[in-house]
Every structure is written in structure tokens, then in C-alpha cells.
Amino acid sequence: MKRKWMALSIIFAIATFLTGCEPLLVLDPKGPQAARQAQDIMLSIGIMSIIVLVVFAMLIFVLFKYRASKQSPDYEPPHMEGNIWVEAICVGIPVIIVAYLSFVSVQSNYIVEATPQGYEEKEPLVIYASSSNWKWHFSYPEENIETVNYLYIPTDRPLEFKLYSHGPITSFWIPQLGGQKYAMSDMITTLHLAADAPGEFMGRNANFSGKGFAENTFEVTAMSPTEFVEWVDEVQETAKPLTEEKFDELIEPGHLGRMTFTGTHLDFMPPPEGHNHGSSHADESIEDSHSEHEGDHSNH
């Protein structure tokens, strides 16, 4: 009896503790890409739960039906051949489940790799997200500003991230907006995201990259398009310009707080070109940014 009450107390304590936990970020999506991934996760959990329940039900049935009985010592069970229907079910059902989940996974991969559904007709905001030990640099070529360790984005607009690294391989991840993707030093990878509603989200490097990996995080703030334009105007009026010397200091190993600059490091340290998997939007953004700067210099 004491063991029974102890077990019930433990179960009650665990249940009480879990009710106070916040939901998993990947299951609290704030964008279409993350919503698709959360849907696939819940589908997988549902299928696995059904399998577990069926297996346990069969186990209980077998334990009761074929439990030891008071047979004579010389009793020999009858010889039984294999049952083709049982074997077909045991092999066929797992094959069907794996095939279905494979189909869903491939379909989802194509969806999350493309422009978010519902945003196909909108012009994406191109952001170059580059990592260094152990910080993130966000370059907005169209807006001609750059931030360190924080990201401001507008809602209801597709986002096109161009990822690369100034050091070891890292992985760019905003769990509530979409899945992670690698950032490497010799190529650019593209990640399409979007935020459906304003809010603050957590972003981080999800790939181990040295002793400072645990703090290699950044803050994401999604705001209305109007507020985003106001923020850009404020930065352009108040922030200091980013120089090559300053950027060389920033990419040295270490941790930094939030920083904001006008101009981007793309002007004097362009992203890798050898394996550029980016779209024309990014190329046009850089070209427009360069032409604007050249025009400014000629005016001076």
C-alpha cells in the first residue's frame, strides 16, 4: 500500500511540475514554415503513440492468454507453422508507415525550402546573417544598416536569409519561425522564413563551434512594417558607420552585446561567391547598395 501511494505521489508531482512548463518553442510556431514543421512533428508523435498503444495492448493480451497454467510436467505444446497473415501484417504495416512518413517529409522539405506559402507575390527582405566566434552579424543591404546579436524583422513579409560564416560552421536557428540551416565559410545558403505576428523570439547557433557556443545566441523582434521602417530611419540617423577596422575587431573571438551600425561589412568584405546558392534578390540588393554608395562618393 505504501508503494502504491508513493508511486501516485510521484506521478502527481511530475504532472504538477509539467503543467508549469512553457510549451516547446518548435511546437509554438509564429510563421508558416515553423507551422508546417510543427504539424509534421505532431503527426509523427501521433503515429508513434498509436503504435505504442497497440504494442502494449498486444503485450497485455499475450501475457494473459498465454500465461503459465497448471499443466502436467510432460505437457508439450502443439507444433504450429507460421501464419502468412500475421507475417504480412507485421511487415506490411511498418512499411506503409515508413513510406507515408517519407512522403510527408519530402513534401515538407520542398515547402519549407521555398518562399513561405501566402507570401509568393511579396518582395522579400534580404538579410545576410553571418556568424563569427561567438556572435551573429545581420546585414541589411537594402536598408544599408548592420546589427550585431539582434534582429529586427517586419511581419507579413517574406524573409530571405543569406547564411555564411567568418569562422567555423554554425547553424542558424529561430525555432518559432523555422528550421535550422548551416552557415559555412566558403558558400552561401539561403533560408526562407516569415513572421505572421509581432513578438519576440529566441535565435541561436545550433551547431557546436567552440567554448563560447552556449552563448552564441541572438534576439529576434518581429514588428509591423510601419514600425520596421521607423526603426530603419532611426538607425540611419543615429548609428555610427561601420568601418573595416571596427569590423575586424568585431569578428575577433569573444562575446558582445547588441550593437548597431550604418553601412554593412558587405562593402569591404563581400560574402563568398564560389558556391553562391542565393537568388537574384540578394545580388540585386548588393548591387543597388554599391551603386548608391558610389553615387554618394561622387557627390562628395
Mean pLDDT of 116-124: 93
Where is pLDDT greater, at 288 or 259?
A: 259
Q: Rounded to whole angstroms, how far apart are CA atoms 57 and 272?
A: 57
CATH architecture of 125-299: Sandwich (2.60)
Q: Rounded to whole angstroms, how far apart are CA atoms 182 and 205?
A: 9
pTM: 0.79
Which residues are paired to 173 by β-bridges?
A: 204
- pLDDT reading at 147 higher than 80: yes
Cell of 193: 522564413
- pLDDT reading at 249 higher than 80: yes
Most confident among 61-65, 276-280, 285-289 (mean pLDDT): 61-65
Which pLDDT belongs to residue 150?
A: 97
Q: Largest alpha-carbon pair distance within the chain?
A: 107
Q: Rounded to whole angstroms, how far apart are CA atoms 268 and 129?
A: 16
Which pLDDT belongs to residue 99?
A: 96
Pick left, alpha or beta for residue 199 (phi over 0 → left; psi -120 to 50 → alpha; otherwise beta).
left
Where is pLDDT greater, at 68 or 182?
A: 182
Q: Among 21-30, 47-56, 202-211, 228-237, name the one with the lowest average pLDDT.
A: 21-30
Which pLDDT belongs to residue 126?
A: 97
Listed by start position, the domains of the chain span 25-59+88-113, 125-299
Distances in whole angstroms, Cα of residue 82 to Cα of each of 29, 51, 54, 61, 95? 48, 23, 21, 19, 20
How far from chain centre, in Å, is Cα 200? 15
Mean pLDDT of 118-147: 95
Where is pLDDT greater, at 21 or 264?
A: 264
- pLDDT reading at 130 higher than 50: yes
Mean pLDDT of 93-98: 94
